[in-house]
Amino acid sequence: MTEQTLKNIALLIDADNTTPKGIDPVLTVMAELGQVNIKRAYGNFAKNNLANWDKITHRYGIRPQQQFDLTAGKNATDMAMTIDAIDLLYQGKVDGFGIMSSDSDFTPLVTRLRQDGLVVYGFGSTSKTPAAFKSACTRFIDIDALIKGASDEPETSKARAAPGKGQIDDELVELLGTAWKAAKRDDKGFAPMGEVGKIAGNRSSFDVRNYGYKRLSDLFEAIDQFQVDRRDNNGIYVKRLR
């Protein structure tokens, strides 16, 4: 099943390890997959640090799943989320998942869901989320970047490029360069940008929003090692220069 044909999506939220400020931009991203009909947030909402979730759950139609801390040092939230996700998997009514958490404990769950062919988007803080969880997801998107992007005023593509350049590193350039090599190129060395982006996404949890951009073309134009070619047929092509 491709991402474009998904219909029924579940968003499961680890309220202990994420922020309610990210709900609106996360739901906007999840709309790429389909209708988010199942929205559940898990945590001990009797705690003061989760008090801000009260208004958020009502505003966005999120069902709070109360999990009391029965034993010190044990997190009942992780277990409840995992059980519900597996239940939804075996009911066969969900086409894809969104997991909001920076907790590596969900890595086996994401791996299991993807083994059944489901698309799983992960949302967490890049600085706090272990690489294993990021890599397990179909896409992992930095929730802090989403929040910042949602609050920014509309700008030109050149103005948007400035903050992103600081986040571009050799690993990203190598990922995109390898994807460009794997794509079908014309006699001038240009490959369709969409194909390059798809190959990069298949090889990792790559997503342009993690680098402060809304479009793949903006990201490529900010990287000196690539040349972007916009053609009359509305196609956008890219070539690695060095």
Record the pTM: 0.70
Through-space distance between the first and last CA atoms of the chain, rounded to whole angstroms: 36
The 10s digit of each residue's pLDDT in 19-57 is 888 898 898 888 878 888 999 999 888 888 788 888 888
Calculate the average pLDDT of the chain. Answer: 83
**Cβ 213 vs Cβ 222: under 8 Å:** yes
Number of residues in the chain? 242
**Cβ 206 vs Cβ 169: under 8 Å:** no
Cα gap 46→68, rounded to integer Å: 8
* Domains of the chain (ranges, CATH numbers): 3-151 (3.40.50.1010), 157-240 (3.30.420.610)
Cα gap 167→140, rounded to integer Å: 16
